[in-house]
Amino acid sequence: MFKARRKAALRSRWTAFRYLKPEKDELKKELAKIDEARQSLEAFRASSAALFEERNAKLAVKEAEINATLARAQEEKKQTEQLLKKNEEIVKRAKSDD
Q: In the chain, which residues have pLDDT < 70?
A: 1-21, 98
Give the separation between CA 42 and CA 48, rounded to whole angstroms. Answer: 10
Count how many residues are written for the chain.
Answer: 98
pLDDT of residue 96: 85
pLDDT of residue 52: 98
Amino acid making up residue 44:
F
Q: What is the DSSP code (8-state) at residue 2?
A: H
User: What's the half-sphere exposure (Cβ side, CA atoms, 13 Å) at 62?
Assistant: 6
Q: Is the pTM value of this prediction over 0.95?
A: no
